[in-house]
Structure 1
Amino acid sequence: MFPTRRMRRVRSRTIQPLLCETTISKNDLVAPLFVDETASAPVPISSMPGQFRYPVSGIAAVVQKFRDRGIRAVLLFGIPAHKDEGATAAYDPQGVVQQAVRNIKAACPDMLVITDVCACEYTSHGHCGIVGDSRCSGPDLLNDESLLLMNKIATSHAEAGADIVAPSCMLDGMVGSIRAALDTAGYEEVLILSYSTKFSSALYGPFREAAESGFSFGDRTTYQMNPANGREAFLESQLDADEGADILMVKPAGPYLDVLADVATLGLPVAAYQVSGEYSMIKAAAERGWIKEKETVLETLTCIKRAGADLIITYFAYDVCGWLS
């Protein structure tokens, strides 16, 4: 017996585009950008070929170039000139991110500006908030003291003109605390994109070079997620949804599509972050001729969207917009 149900009939090259279930568009993409307070010209990031740390004075022109390419949203990370234990530069009205937001909004007012709300780039020890002695594990991140710091950072970003603040510190209660602080300060319209399920991943290595955010002791496993725990990962996002998050996020993206699909069932918009390690692995393999870069990038992004992502934060955003054109 030959088959009557022939799946190959729907895979002819002429009909495939009509039956494609998942497609990537420019509106799916968010471009992460690094702004360096000490830079006077773009600084190449050696572990992330094609990526740069941009000076504050030049960031508006860079964002305009991205806007002309079709990108509608950027996510900003700041590298300050000064670091200390209290991360005071993170909430300075004249801080690197605050200046960058104002410059971008003046030059490109229709660009959606998202700011990373964390302290790892601003603390002298590289951890994501205020560190003190924990009864369980010695020096560690203090949750509630760090929440007060995040409130200051988020409010300062909103004052500068950010459309969305994105807390990435994985503190308990961070969404509720920041929401209350923003509302009290009169920024009820500013959205919170929560890094609601952020894993303690080995794939962040190139980012730590880019943002100068490596930690000087210990690790981040006491506040970021264990990659082995799926049910706990879902609960983390559920808690942030209950606290009022407008958008949830799973980070990294590619290795955690099962978690992404689960989080999407909560009913809120979901972002997925294709992180620096994912970017660098594709770049390195493509440079060696082991894979085709364009095809691999589009495949990975399509799979991320198929799993449930409404937004994809990716360092390939600029290239992808060119390919889609």
Structure 2
Amino acid sequence: MLEEVYNLFYFSSDGKSISHVGIATHNLSGSDDEKLSFLKKNINSDLCSCEYFDVSPQCLGTNKTLSVGRYMALARRGIATLVYELALQAKRATDNPLVICTAVVNGQIKVDGNIDVNKELRRDDFPSNSIPGVRDMPDYLDKYIVNGRFYIKDLLVDDHVKAIHLLFNNKHYLSSIKLLMSFIDTVAFLEFGDVNKAFPVWLDKYCELSTLKITSNELYELRHSLLHMTNLNSRKVIQGVERRISYSIGPVSTPTREHDGIVFFNYLDFIPLFESAMDKWLATYDGEKIITFIERYDQVVRENY
């Protein structure tokens, strides 16, 4: 059957952000395998003659650019062709056209694997992800996407929250709260990206710290001093900019209190407060935000083999 098929290209000058896309059109008959073989053989010549288009606006990130990481996140949901939508619309392409997508980085074709464009991309699709002598890390999307639904909370609980609870339940309270401070850094990164002071901004947006009579900035200073030095002496505390706070272990609803210049909040009351904040945050996730989550969580170090 005669149909239009397409060689698609994305262009990146630095391997980090995608500036534009390209398209080359062919009218071919034969089987799908024959058409794909033709497209592969003509990638180099099509690169020289392709027509340029902007990236589809719906694929851009919060900074109005498309990173290669975000492109990969779209590919991991099987929707990378959305990036080329303006080009395909200009050619009046049918739904689900036969295409090959190729990366062009700093003017050079870059091939990492040979994967069906409609397949949801996974770690094991790239041989380079397997390191000799190192156990392969399973792809979290294989476990936590079930029947099209992404169970983000289950992923975060398994990767992070269980360890926090394990330490707490075994009375390793300091190690537990250190890990919780680090986890707040993680969820703040997932929400805002690599920006300054994401930790207190996330808490202000989702966590009702006023019930403990402490502030996000005070907790941020505690985070600095505990994670870096295991003391209560952050720079802003020493300078008198923020109060010196710490945690205590007491019955539920133990009020925050001050002793000898230190304000103590009850860790047992903070844990459910944070978990409520986490639920409030997770309730904000929709299709577009899930793509951002995948883009950022792909950068998070995991230990769940």
TM-score, structure 1 normalization: 0.23
TM-score, structure 2 normalization: 0.24
Rg (Cα) greater in structure:
2
Higher-RCO chain (CA-CA 8 Å, sequence separation at least 6): 1
